[in-house]
């Protein structure tokens, strides 16, 4: 880290001069001071008395080293930035910023700006940073060339880190700029889940989306296969818990694979689903109270303990008025048994029995309305059998067919 500073001291004597003996005394005193805190005091005195000096760069180098020895990282970064005005492509100065800032708890906006500036420079000017003139003597050409893409990737990670320090909005902005930064989706998922635990369960949907992005995205910057598999396992579990079923998860993964941010995509919670079902049921009940009562009875009988409830409370009791469409009749003419579809067209779920045969017949699909006495039921497939009196049946239009006429006699012809 101090390679740059060491290379700058002592400054060449042939092109730099002290302004006078007083500056020389102050400069030499600062250079010879071994205690970093005392050295900074002497540097401050020198800078106060001689703000402009031929030895300004060497003086800034001395500040840089002293601040580092005292772990005053913010001041060291400011000195580093001052040196970068003349040497913007110096890798040692760039690296020093990356090392120093994370040690500041918390880093200031100026510190984060320094990281952003250094990272952007490496990303935008890699050939300048890794030019032949900047190659250290102890590195081969191949080593210097291989370091370039590594440092560019590291600089991208530094921009991610800065966004994380700045919060969710900055991370979202970074993802808008570069959708390949999938690790930021993971960070958002974790951060949002933590917020959800603090009383905002509805935020879980966004967290699930970001984990789904990490699981489904396979383009540049994607997670390794093993990590994506782990993310998918988590998404499966979290989605089912939040949504209630895995229905729709495939659509979520497909969307997340192509988009770094959820936008208007919304995952409904099981609470939302239940509320929607309740609202739909209420609307249907209001529009068709007869069908709603039928479903109420069915829910009781097909639920736990349905047979016991039927035997104790429903069997041989009069049930409300219902309507259904004819599925079949036995016999086909003058039936005593009619099978109806009450809840869903074509799906038999009610059998009516009559003591006396009904007149004539009706066609399948025609509607009957009835009141009757519950006699028996089967749970799967569901079938409720009721005994019905003729005067409790509405809509029957069948009539007895007239007796068949004998064939007419053929007329005799006169020869």
- Residue 347 domain boundaries: 289-394
**404 domain residue, yes or no:** no
Whether pLDDT at 9 is above 60: no
**Which pLDDT score is estimated for 412?**
56
Domain boundary pick from 168, 189, 212: 168
Q: Is the pTM of this model over 0.95?
A: no
**406 domain residue, yes or no:** no
Confidence category of residue 60, pLDDT binned at 50, 70, 90: very high
Q: Do 144 and 267 fall within a single domain? A: no
Q: Do 179 and 251 fall within a single domain? A: yes
**Which pLDDT score is estimated for 340?**
97
Domain boundary pick from 223, 238, 271: 271
What pLDDT digit, counting tens, does each position of 335-353 carry? 999 999 999 999 999 999 9
Q: Do 17 and 131 fall within a single domain? A: yes
Q: What is the bridge-based pairing of β-strands 373-378 and 367-370?
A: unpaired
If 0-12 CB within 10 Å is exposed, 13-18 middle and 19+ buried, where does residue 391 land? exposed
CA distance 338 to 368: 10
Domain boundary pick from 271, 299, 314: 271
Q: Do 215 and 312 fall within a single domain? A: no
**86 domain residue, yes or no:** yes
CATH number of the domain bearing residue 329: 2.40.50.110
Name which residue leads in pLDDT, 412 or 283.
283
Number of domains in the chain: 3
What pLDDT digit, counting tens, does each position of 202-254 carry? 899 999 999 999 999 999 999 999 999 999 999 999 999 999 999 999 999 99
Q: Do 52 and 157 fall within a single domain? A: yes
**405 domain residue, yes or no:** no
**399 domain residue, yes or no:** no
**Token pair 């320090």: residue:** 165
Q: Do 222 and 366 fall within a single domain? A: no
Q: Do 154 and 245 fall within a single domain? A: no
If 0-12 CB within 10 Å is exposed, 13-18 middle and 19+ buried, where does residue 162 land? buried
Q: Do 356 and 233 fall within a single domain? A: no
Q: Do 28 and 150 fall within a single domain? A: yes
**380 domain residue, yes or no:** yes
Q: Do 55 and 148 fall within a single domain? A: yes
**Which pLDDT score is estimated for 282?**
83
Q: Do 137 and 253 fall within a single domain? A: no
**Three-class SS state of 207:** helix
Q: Do 37 and 164 fall within a single domain? A: yes
**49 domain residue, yes or no:** yes
**124 domain residue, yes or no:** yes
């Amino acid at each position: 880290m101090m390679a740059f500073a060491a290379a700058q001291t002592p400054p060449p004597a042939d092109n730099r001069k002290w302004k006078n003996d007083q500056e020389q005394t102050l400069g030499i005193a600062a250079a010879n001071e071994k205690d970093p805190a005392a050295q900074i005091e002497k540097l401050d005195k020198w800078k106060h008395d001689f703000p402009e000096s031929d030895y300004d760069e060497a003086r800034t180098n001395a500040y840089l080293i002293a601040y580092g020895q005292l772990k005053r990282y913010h001041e060291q970064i400011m000195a580093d930035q001052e040196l970068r005005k003349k040497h913007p492509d110096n890798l040692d100065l760039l690296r020093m910023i990356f090392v120093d800032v994370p040690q500041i708890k918390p880093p200031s906006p100026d510190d984060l700006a320094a990281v952003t500036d250094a990272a952007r420079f490496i990303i935008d000017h890699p050939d300048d940073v890794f030019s032949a003139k900047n190659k250290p003597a102890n590195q081969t050409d191949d080593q210097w060339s291989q370091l370039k893409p590594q440092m560019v990737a590291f600089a991208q990670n530094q921009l991610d880190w800065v966004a994380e320090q700045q919060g969710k909005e900055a991370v979202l902005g970074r993802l808008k700029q570069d959708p390949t930064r999938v690790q930021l989706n993971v960070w958002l998922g974790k951060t949002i889940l933590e917020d959800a635990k603090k009383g905002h369960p509805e935020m879980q949907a966004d967290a699930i989306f970001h984990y789904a992005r990490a699981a489904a995205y396979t383009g540049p910057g994607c997670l390794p296969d093993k990590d994506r598999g782990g993310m998918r396992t988590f998404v499966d579990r979290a989605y089912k818990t939040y949504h209630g079923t895995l229905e729709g998860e495939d659509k979520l993964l497909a969307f997340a694979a192509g988009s770094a941010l959820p936008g208007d995509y919304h995952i409904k919670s099981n609470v939302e689903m239940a509320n929607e079902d309740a609202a739909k049921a209420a609307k249907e009940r209001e529009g068709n109270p007869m069908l709603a009562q039928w479903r109420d009875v069915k829910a009781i009988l097909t639920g736990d303990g349905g047979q016991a409830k039927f035997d104790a409370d429903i069997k041989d009791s009069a049930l409300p008025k219902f309507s259904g469409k004819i599925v079949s009749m036995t016999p086909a003419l003058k039936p005593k048994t009619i099978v109806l579809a009450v809840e869903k067209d074509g799906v038999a779920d009610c059998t009516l029995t009559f003591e006396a045969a009904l007149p004539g017949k009706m066609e399948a699909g025609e509607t009957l309305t009835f009141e009757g006495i519950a006699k028996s039921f089967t749970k799967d497939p569901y079938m409720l059998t009721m005994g019905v009196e003729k005067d409790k049946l509405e809509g029957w239009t069948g009539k007895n067919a007239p007796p068949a006429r004998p064939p007419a006699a053929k007329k005799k012809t006169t020869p």
